[in-house]
Amino acid sequence: MKKSTEKTLQDQWSSKWAFILAATGAAVGLGNVWRFPYMAGTHGGSAFVLVYLVCIILIGLPVMIAEILIGRRARQNPVSAMETLAKESGHTKKWGVVGWWGAAALLLVLSFYSVVSGWSIAYLLRSASGTFSGMNASQVSNFWQHFLSSPWQLLTWHTVFICLTIGVIVRGVQEGLEKATKFMMPALYAILFLLAAYAIIEGDFRQAFHFLFDFNLEQITPSVFIAAMGHACFTLAVGAGAMLTYGAYVPKRVNITTAVCVVATLDVLVAILSGLAIFPLVFAHHLTPNMGPGLMFVTLPIAFANIPGGTLIGSLFFILLLFAAWTSSINLAEPMVVILMNRLKLSRKKSAMLVGALAWFIGIGSLLSFNVWKQVKLFHKFTIFDVATNGPTDIMLPIGALAFALFAGWAMKKKFTRPELHRKVFPTWRFLIRYVAPIGVLVIFLTRAFL
């Protein structure tokens, strides 16, 4: 990033590729490797995958373009950006609420994200010390259950991860991250290819393939729609101003549409590869696809236990996953930090600490729901962790996405949005952002509410 001395957000990514890399870093994370497979597993496999892909194209992509366009035009934090652009088009400054809403959603996401990233740190250490080698499927499962039952372990790793995230944000070592991402991302792909290849050869590929890709209309229920739409927003990091914040650093000459398409493709690819690495093992070892958040943690170690060099491969996998989670969590915390800095005039250090402390505290509820508060059920059936993960992702992000779509499609004047996009794509984008995305979100919410 090039730095400038001015107070407004004048920093810029050094090139189109630097931006694509950072945005991919934000998009690719636990959502792809950990959440996508288990959500697909609990929501009928192919039904979920299909709706997720459709939501990515019809809602995720146009909203991502909208957020980046808003960020680049305003070059401010999400709240101020919405206020400035609303005023520019003759509307009320109240649109700034969308920025606050998004930042709050991201804070909640960060709270559970850190808990799960903590699991990855623990598993990294376990893999490196050879704990999994030679284990069979039921031993791996038992290990997982045992691990979850210890609140102190979970708390330790959750704390470590929050410190890692806030540490980077306080220092603002984005430059270093930009460089590291260049190596880590391709390495993550390579290792996922390897794991998928192992699973395809050794596992039950045929059943996994049918499970993930068979077209199956009856399975598509309103709750599948909600889950898939929420996950599409989550995985692309849209609906909360996270992309808007990165968009504020995008140079004028960058073609937003191409960048967004590259990011989304790379993102979906990681999810599909993860599915292919996990499900053949699930079926070959008679595990249940709908076992929920533990899915990745009880399947991949089986592969590490049996592959030659599994200790090394397992360790590498968890390092890369952790890194992917880290680049995402920085993007999760950054908008709230910038907003607090700009609006409450706090220092970067203070706002980062405040955001970290809040996310840490809220995250404790999530981690206790696996042990001490296991019996606590909200709305009669959900654990605190379920609510903390699905509430912000399935409800808050799509509402945010709807607000950004209405803002960019209806509130902003056409003369302000048009110059930001290539003239060939502008009409298509405008149609999607005015009609398809908002109606899509509304229809999905309404069907869920009334069916």
Pairwise CA distance, residues 129 & 132, whole Å:
8
For residue 5 the two structure tokens come to 């001395």
Q: Which is nearer to ligand PHE, 78 or 310 (CB)?
A: 78
Q: How far is the CB of 267 from ligand PHE (least distance, A)?
A: 7
Cβ atoms of residues 344 and 336 within 8 Å: no
Structure tokens at 43: 């929501």
Looking at residue 394, what DSSP letter applies?
Answer: I
Tokens of 422: 């290539």
Separation CA 63–CA 244 (nearest Å): 10
Least Å from the CB of residue 235 to ligand PHE: 4
Q: How far is the CB of 324 from ligand PHE (least distance, A)?
A: 7
Closer to ligand PHE by CB, 127 or 328: give it: 328
Residue closest to ligand PHE, measured at CB: 31
Task: Count the alpha carbons within 13 Å of 138 in the hemisphere toward its beta carbon.
Answer: 0
Smaller CB separation from ligand PHE, 167 or 419: 167
Residue listed under structure tokens 């995402």: 328
Phi-psi region of 39 (alpha: psi -120 to 50; beta: other; left: phi over 0): alpha
Instruction: Please state the length of the chain.
Output: 451
Contacts of 231 (CB under 8 A, 6+ apart): 31, 35, 36, 39, 48, 52, 55, 393, 394
SS3 150: coil
CB-based burial, 5-44: b 16+ in 10 Å, e otherwise: eeeebeebbeebebbbbbbbbbbbbbbbbbbbbbbbbbbb
Write down the least CB distance from residue 195 to ligand PHE, Å. 18
Give the CA radius of gyration of the chain.
21
Q: Which is nearer to ligand PHE, 105 or 287 (CB)?
A: 105
Helix (H) or strand (E) holding 362: helix 348-368
Structure tokens at 365: 């509820």
To the nearest whole angstrom, how small is the minimum distance from the Cβ of residue 26 to ligand PHE? 5
User: What are the residue ranges of helices labelled H in 96-150?
Assistant: 96-128, 137-148
Q: For ligand PHE, give the closer residue by CB, 124 or 401.
A: 401
Contacting residues toward ligand PHE, per CB under 6 A: 26-27, 29-32, 106, 109, 234-235, 237, 240, 242, 328, 331-332
Segment holding 304, helix H or strand E:
helix 295-306
Residue 339 CB neighbour total at 10 angstroms: 25
Residue closer to ligand PHE by CB (options 192, 287) is: 192
Least distance (Å) between residue 238 CB and ligand PHE = 7
Instruction: Look at phi and psi of residue 90 and say left if phi exceeds 0, alpha if psi is from -120 to 50, else beta.
Output: left
Instruction: Report the nearest approach of ligand PHE to the CB of residue 329 (Å).
Output: 7
Residue 107 or 284: which CB sits closer to ligand PHE?
107
Whole-number minimum distance, CB 130 to ligand PHE, in Å?
Answer: 28
Residue 394: CB minimum distance to ligand PHE, A = 13
Nearest approach in angstroms of CB 62 to ligand PHE is 17
Q: Which is nearer to ligand PHE, 274 or 315 (CB)?
A: 274
Nearer to ligand PHE, 9 or 23 (CB): 23
CB-wise, 401 or 437, nearer to ligand PHE? 401
- Other CB atoms within 10 A of residue 4 CB: 11
- Least distance between ligand PHE and beta carbon 389 (Å): 11
Shortest distance in whole angstroms from residue 204 CB to ligand PHE = 27
**Which of 310, 400 has the CB closer to ligand PHE?**
400
Residue 26 or 355: which CB sits closer to ligand PHE? 26
Closest CA to 136 of 363, 343, 298, 374: 298
Tokens of 387: 């609510």
